[in-house]
Amino acid sequence: MSDAISGLNCLGGTGYSPEAAKRVFYFFYQSLQTKDADFERISRGLYDMALSEFAPSEELIGEMMTYWDGLDLAELRHYGDPVEIKKDMLKLLHENMCSS
C-alpha cells in the first residue's frame, strides 16, 4: 500500500499532490468495494497518509486519523459501532476521490 502511495506521489511532481491523494482515495474505495482489501488495512492507510499530510485537502487530515483507532475500538466492543465507522469511512473516500 505504501508503495502505491509513493508511486502515485511521483506522478504529482515534488511534494504531495491533492490530486494524487484523491487518486489513492479512489483506489482505496474500489478495493473496499471489490473486497480486495479490508477496512482495517485501508484505515491504516488513511492514518499513514494523514501523518504524512498527504490528503485531498488539509481539512480531512484529522478525520483520516480517526478511522484506524476508531475501528479497532469498535471491533473490540469498547466504543462505537463498526458498521457506522465503515459507512463513514466509505463516505469519506467516495466524497473525496477522483472521478476515475
pLDDT of amino acid 17: 86
Q: Is the per-residue pLDDT at 3 higher than 80?
A: no
Cβ atoms of residues 26 and 100 within 8 Å: yes
For residue 99, name the pLDDT band (cuts at 50, 70, 90).
Answer: confident
**Model confidence over 39-71: pLDDT tens digits?**
999 999 999 999 999 999 999 999 999 999 999
pLDDT of amino acid 7: 52
Q: What crossing angle do the helices spanning 18-33 and 2-11 adopt, rounded to 10°? A: 140
Grid cell listed for 28: 482505496
| Domains of the chain, residue spans | 2-96
Of 100, 72, 76, 97, nearest to 85 by C-alpha is 72
